Structure 1
C-alpha cells in the first residue's frame, strides 16, 4: 500500500495567511480509451486544468483497480480511523486546520496558536462553484473538510483489513481531503462516484482522477457501477496542452 503523500508532489508545511485555491496535481501514467486529448469545456480546462498525461494515467490506474462488491459495513465506526483530525504530520497543527489553511484564501488565525487555528477565510468551493465566507463559531459547519474517498466507503472496499495506523494515516492524508461547502459534503455522505458527483460539472474530471489515485495508492477496490462512473467522467475530461 503506497500512501498518496509518498507519490504526490511535496507540499510546504509552513503556514501562510493567504494563498491561491489549492488544486491537487496528480502524477499519473498510461493506457487505453480515447486516443488523445479531449476538448470539451474551455471553462473547466481553465479552472481545473489536467493534461493528457493525467488522463492517461488515470485510465491506467482505474484499469488496475479490482472490481468487487461492497463488503458489509459491519464494524464501521469513525473511531476505527483514529482520532479525528490528528496531527499526523507532527507540524503542531491538526489536520482540519491544515486543510482550511491550504484551501481557503485571505485567512486569519487565532493569536497564540502559532498560526494553526483558522478563524476566518474565503473558500472558492470546487464542489459547487460557490464562494463561502468562513467564520469559526456558529457558522463553522458552512465549510467542512470532505474525505474525497469517504471513510465508510473505504471501510467497505478494503480498509477494514488495514492496521489502525494505516487507517489513521488515510483519514488524515491531505491528498484525500478537500475543504468544501458543508451542505454538499452532507449530501455526499459516504457515497462513491456511482451515487454522488460534485454539482460543479467542471470539477468532476479532477474529482474522478483524485478518487482513482487515492484508491489505487491505498489498494482499495471499486464496484462495477463505480468503475463505470469513474471511467465516464475521465472520458469527459477537458485537457490543456502540455509544455
Structure 2
C-alpha cells in the first residue's frame, strides 16, 4: 500500500499545466489512498464471521445441563398409567364425561390477566404480534417466529403450543398420583410451553428425548435443558434412553 501511495504522488506531480492543478491533485490522491488504507485496516481487523450453530453446546448450557442431569431421577422405562383422559367434554359415543385429568385446556387458575394461557404464550413468543380489537390484547390474530424445532420461519396459522414434557408422558411418569390442582398447574406452567410448528409438534407426539429431538441441531441442547428443568421442578423421572440422548447433545465439555 505504501508503494501505491508513492506512485500516486509521483504521477500527480508529473502532470503539468493548469488543467491538472498539481497541488490539488496531490492532496486528492493522498486523501483517497488514506481512505483506502483505513478501509483495508478495518477489513483486516474485523472479527471472524460467526460460524453456524452446531451440536456443540455453549458452556453455560453445559453447566446448567450438568446440574440438572445430576438431580433428575432415572428409570429404565416409564410404564403406562391407567386413567389418562385429557378431554373435558362429553364422549360422543358413550355420553360420559371425559376425565379432564389436567383441567380445562389453557386455563390457569393462578392467572390474573384474564387471558388464556395459549394466547399469553403466543403473545410472548411471537414477533410482530397483533390482537383482535376489544379483547384487551388477549386474542392474538397474527405474528411469526423462527420455529425452534425446525429452524423455519412460521406464521401464527402454522403454530401450535407444545408441552415440552408431554402431558401424557408426565401422567405416566407420576402425575397420575398428583392432586387435580397440581396437574392443572403443570399443564399451564409456561416453563413447559413452547410455540412451535404444528408439523413438528405432531411428529413429537408424547415422546421424550430418547425417542425424539428437534431436527434443528442448534436447538437440541436448549430443548433438553428445558425438558430437564421441568422434570426436575416437578420431581418426574426420565428414562435411561432419555439420559443417553441428553448426554449426546449436551454432555460435551467446553
For these two proteins, the number of residue pairs brought into alignment is: 190
Normalising by structure 2, report the TM-score.
0.70
C-alpha displacement of 1:58: 1.7
Contact 1:58 1:209 in 2 (8 A): yes
**How far, CA to CA, are the matches of 2:247 and 2:173 in structure 1?**
18
C-alpha displacement of 1:184: 0.5
* Equivalent residue for 1:43, pick from 52, 55, 67: 52
Contact 1:73 1:152 in 2 (8 A): no
* Equivalent residue for 1:75, pick from 64, 83, 86: 83
Matched position secondary structure for 1:81: coil
1:47-66 matched pairs, under 5 angstroms: 52-66=59-73
Runs of 4 or more above 2 Å deviation: 41-45, 48-54
Residue ranges of structure 1 left out of the alignment (5+ in a row) = 1-40, 135-139
**How far, CA to CA, are the matches of 1:109 and 1:123 in structure 2?**
16
In the other structure, the counterpart of 1:111 is: 133
**How far, CA to CA, are the matches of 2:178 and 2:66 in structure 1?**
26
In the other structure, the counterpart of 2:123 is: 101
**How far, CA to CA, are the matches of 1:123 and 1:57 in structure 2?**
25
Matched position secondary structure for 1:115: coil
Whose helix proportion is higher, 1 or 2? Answer: 2
Q: Deviations over 1:120-168 (max 9, x none)?
A: 111211111111122xxxxx4x210000110011111121111111111
Contact 1:87 1:93 in 2 (8 A): no
Alpha-carbon distance change, 42 to 176 in structure 1, aligned in 2, over 3 angstroms? farther
C-alpha displacement of 1:236: 4.6
C-alpha displacement of 1:71: 2.5
* Equivalent residue for 2:187, pick from 171, 183, 206: 171
**How far, CA to CA, are the matches of 1:77 and 1:150 in structure 2?**
13
Contact 2:164 2:194 in 1 (8 A): yes
Q: Which has the larger radius of gyration?
A: 2
1:183-198 matched pairs, under 5 angstroms: 183-198=199-214
Normalising by structure 1, report the TM-score.
0.73
Contact 2:123 2:140 in 1 (8 A): yes
Compute the RMSD of aligned alpha carbons.
2.1
